[in-house]
Amino acid sequence: MMPFHCPIEPNEHLLGWLCRVHLLSGNIKFAHTAATLEVSDKPLKGCNHNRAFQDGLNLLPDLNKNFENHTAFGLWAISLQLKEFGDWKQNNAQLVKCGFDPNKFAFHSSWKYCSSCISEDINIYGHSIWHFKHQLPSITHCYKHQLPLLSDRTKLRDLRSSSLPQMYDFLPHKFENETLMVEWSEFILTMFDRLNLNPELGGILRERTLNYLDISSDLRLKDKPKVLTIQKKMDSEVPIELLEYLFLFYSQEFKRHHSILWNTLGYSVYEKAKHPVYWLIILYWLKDKISLEL
Ligand SMILES: [Zn+2]
């Protein structure tokens, strides 16, 4: 149980709140705080759906509301079937594996913060918070200030051994095409807000994508040449800076080239669901071709 009153703040990430409870507890090790709260001592990473996340969610009164208002997992409605997503979100019973794809992704999943949000939050709450919308996968700019988000790949990986954003002073990453990255961040935010509000949009968008590309939902190996031809078109139309920022197989020549479309749109022996970033880049490519609204 909670040893003292420490309500979660609006826009605060569930795991950021757990980190704050730990800091206020005065314990040196998170394991001690975890034992008091009866929460698993698993890593507190923004990308992981693990036991610590499940236990943390159970500490709050309304599962559904807190899932929507304090986590980035609403985006997973684009990856999972509606029933599976609903069960996952409403019952908080099963773990979802497609949290991250470190062998394929070029962006990192460490905790991010915005310097202007720190000042604003200190004015409002007296302390900074880890915003859940700063942790959307592959996002680079703040949803409120459009400033580049700050982070550190190693020091901010796991909030069990980190502090609040106000304790850090990391420098922004320099993007060659900043305008493009602001646009990408705004696209992710828009899609997140829509999917978080209406998870059924996920299935609708998957179907519209397949219809527009004239691809069967039951892909067979014989369909591969057709899908790879469409992939070439996608590669020539999506800015390469963005593809390289997202996927290692665009920036590292030695990596076996992976087809986003082939590996996302159906044919997959090993995986049931693809990480939302695969879907998001396909939808970003088709944003002027198909409706992305309900
Ligand atoms: Zn901000």
Give the Å distance between the CA of 5 and the centre of ligand 1.
27
Give the Å distance between the CA of 277 and the centre of ligand 1.
22
Give the Å distance between the CA of 178 and the centre of ligand 1.
16
Give the Å distance between the CA of 131 and the centre of ligand 1.
9
pLDDT score, position 180: 98
pLDDT score, position 74: 95
Give the Å distance between the CA of 224 and the centre of ligand 1.
43
Give the Å distance between the CA of 43 and the centre of ligand 1.
25
pLDDT score, position 267: 57
pLDDT score, position 15: 97
Give the Å distance between the CA of 141 and the centre of ligand 1.
8
Helix (H) or strand (E) holding 40: none
Give the Å distance between the CA of 17 and the centre of ligand 1.
18
Q: Are 284 and 238 in contact (CB under 8 A)?
A: yes
Q: d(Cα 159, Cα 287) in Å, to the nearest integer?
A: 35
pLDDT score, position 154: 93
Q: Which token pair is 217?
A: 């939902």
Give the predicted TM-score (pTM) of the model: 0.94
pLDDT score, position 47: 86
Q: d(Cα 2, Cα 160) in Å, to the nearest integer?
A: 17
Give the Å distance between the CA of 15 and the centre of ligand 1.
19
Q: Are 268 and 168 in contact (CB under 8 A)?
A: no
Give the Å distance between the CA of 116 and the centre of ligand 1.
5
Give the Å distance between the CA of 147 and the centre of ligand 1.
6
Give the Å distance between the CA of 234 and the centre of ligand 1.
32
Give the Å distance between the CA of 117 and the centre of ligand 1.
4
Give the Å distance between the CA of 124 and the centre of ligand 1.
14
Q: Are 103 and 112 in contact (CB under 8 A)?
A: no
Q: Give the list of residues 6+ apart from residue 179 with CB closer than 8 angstroms, or none.
A: none
pLDDT score, position 271: 58
pLDDT tens-place values along the chain, 294 residues long = 777 889 999 999 999 999 999 999 999 999 999 999 999 999 999 888 899 999 999 999 888 899 999 999 999 999 999 998 998 888 888 888 776 788 899 999 999 999 999 999 999 999 999 999 999 999 999 999 999 999 999 999 999 999 999 999 999 988 999 999 999 999 999 999 999 999 999 999 999 999 999 998 888 889 999 999 999 999 999 999 999 999 999 988 766 778 999 989 875 555 568 899 999 999 999 999 999 999
Give the Å distance between the CA of 145 and the centre of ligand 1.
4
Give the Å distance between the CA of 290 and the centre of ligand 1.
31
Give the Å distance between the CA of 138 and the centre of ligand 1.
16
Give the Å distance between the CA of 128 and the centre of ligand 1.
11
